[in-house]
Amino acid sequence: VIYDLLIKNGFICTSSDIYPADIGISNGKIAVIAANIDSEFSKEVIDAEGGVITPGGVDAHVHVDEPLKLMGDVIDTMGTATRSAVAGGTTTVIAFASQDVNLKGPKALSESVNKTIEFCQKEPLYCDYGLHLILALVEETDNACNVLDKQLSSLYKDQGVSSVKFFMTYPGLQMSDYSILNIMYATRKSGITTMVHAENGDIVRWMTESLENQGLIEPYYHGVSRPTIVEGEATNRAITLSIMMNTPVLFVHVSSPEAVEAIRRAQTMGIKVFAETCPQYLILSQADTKCHYGHNNWFEGAKNVCSPPLREDQTKECLWRAMDNGTFTIVSSDHCSYLYSSKYRGKHNAFDQGKSGKFRYIPNGMPGVCARMPLDFHYGYLKENISSLMKFVEVHCTNPAKLYGCYPQKGAILPGSSDADLLIWYPIEDKRGHTKINNRMMYHSCDYTPYEGLEVKNWPRYTLSWKC
């Protein structure tokens, strides 16, 4: 016996190829791919006749509970987020550690990440994870870019963290253009990937005050406070700053046609601009923030409040096209779950209608790490919004692994190199995989899913996840 597991008679689908072959797995690694491997060489055999085998999903944008809590009291921990991920075919998640702004000196950022790692390791995890760092504060001093460069270099050396995210909106997190230049200078020097949350925070603030003054406070007006040009302007500005600094950037959770256009234009000019979108922008729309599931409770739309907000129905087509034509490099969930029912839990909980239900207090974000792969398999591949299964694999598995430095261990099926994190789908005929989504299937800690009641024709029948 050579292999721990043999998968026979399936079609392998990667980001570049689709072909019939058997896969032998030893010690959690892809050991061999060959035309006909005899079952007697393996302890266990899965017959994947009629099935398609893809790499496990890599979700590169997930928020979990962590010591600094910049995103408020998110309810999923690394334990429950990885559980939820695996339940929907995602076998690697990349979450966030936040900068502890009280720490100073060259090790300030790596110490911030250390705390998060300790925190995340406290409970059993269901799959591998990585971390990005959220930058919360950059000193506006003359030497800030050099201080930051040293801190980022040691972050990469000490922790292997190779990506940071900064925000152009949110009180307390919004970076000035001056700080953005400092960040971009330092990330370019230290070779760190720069993730941008692009929304013009000053417009959002102005619009929020104006809407409140008119008494327009319901969840729906969160979206009105940040129309698509708010994202378009910030995206254009960040591209300009990145050209100044000659720094590649990645725009996270892109939802706006103006932003897509700016990114596409920059890419055509040869500027290194990458972009991510999320299933909620491809499948849901701003109507879902009005009132939910036919309930007569106007506040239920708060479950679907996120930033950037859900857009008009017509926007979805533009986003699917941008996924298929390569403008979007990756698709992630931006999983960020807040309990809806326990209204007064924690200081950031603002499903708190005690604050008169004003949209400005609603925590931004929704759960989605579990549903991402099955939703996009159905609404993207099966509904022909993306042109091939290889494209689905590219943006959901391979590219995120490449972008964040874990390819080909993740996102690929390469003998000798890749972990045996694999999914088996049955796209032709899968009565077993035909499912109406409900919250219990998500295996997260959140008390709702924004996708409740949606039907998908496929759910991965097998998810193999080998923890290292």
From Zn ion, ligand DUC, none, which one binds at residue 306 (CB under 5 to 8 Å depending on kind)?
ligand DUC
Report the C-alpha gap between 411 and 94 in whole angstroms: 13
Neighbours of 293 (CB within 10 A): 11
Residue 7 or 131 having the CB closest to ligand DUC: 131
Residue 63 or 372 having the CB closest to ligand DUC: 63
CB of 61 to Zn ion, least distance (A): 6
Determine if 372 is a binding residue for Zn ion (CB under 5 A): no
* Footprint on residues 66-105 left by ligand DUC (CB under 6 A): 71
CA dihedral 97, 400, 386, 319 (to 10 degrees): 40
Residue 253 or 402 having the CB closest to ligand DUC: 253
CA angle 171, 176, 179 (to 5 degrees): 120
**Exactly one of 132, 197, 292, 444 binds Zn ion (CB under 5 A); which one?**
197
Helices 177-190 and 144-159, axial angle in degrees (round to 10): 40
From ligand DUC, Zn ion, none, which one binds at residue 153 (CB under 5 to 8 Å depending on kind)?
none
Amino acid at 466: W
Residue 10 or 301 having the CB closest to ligand DUC: 301
Pairing of strands 128-134, 90-98: parallel
DSSP state of 397: I
Determine if 63 is a binding residue for ligand DUC (CB under 6 A): yes
Binding-site size for ligand DUC (CB under 6 A) equals 9
**Exactly one of 109, 133, 144, 336 binds ligand DUC (CB under 6 A); which one?**
336
* Segment lying near Zn ion (by CB under 5 A), choices 16-24, 35-43, 195-203, 259-267: 195-203
CB of 205 to Zn ion, least distance (A): 17
Determine if 174 is a binding residue for ligand DUC (CB under 6 A): no
Q: What are φ and ψ of residue 300, in 5° steps? A: -65, -20
Determine if 364 is a binding residue for ligand DUC (CB under 6 A): yes
Determine if 197 is a binding residue for ligand DUC (CB under 6 A): yes
CB of 363 to ligand DUC, least distance (A): 8
Fill in the per-residue mask, 330 to 349: x = in contact with Zn ion (CB under 5 A), - = not in contact: ----x---------------
Q: Which residues contact 374 (CB under 8 A, 6 or more apart)?
A: 88, 89, 435, 437, 456, 458, 459, 460
Report the C-alpha gap between 224 and 113 in whole angstroms: 36
Fill in the per-residue mask, 418 to 447: x = in contact with ligand DUC (CB under 6 A), - = not in contact: ------------------------------
Determine if 365 is a binding residue for ligand DUC (CB under 6 A): yes
Binding-site size for Zn ion (CB under 5 A) equals 2
Region of 72 (left: φ > 0; alpha: ψ -120 to 50; beta: rest) is left
Torsion sign across C-alpha atoms 391, 392, 394, 400: positive
Report the C-alpha gap between 284 and 304 in whole angstroms: 9
Report the C-alpha gap between 93 and 127 in whole angstroms: 8
CB of 252 to ligand DUC, least distance (A): 7
Residue 251 or 443 having the CB closest to ligand DUC: 251
Local structure of 259: helix, strand or coil: helix
Q: Which residues of this chain interact with Zn ion, rule CB under 5 A?
A: 197, 334
Q: Which residues of this chain interact with ligand DUC, rule CB under 6 A?
A: 63, 71, 197, 306-307, 334, 336, 364-365
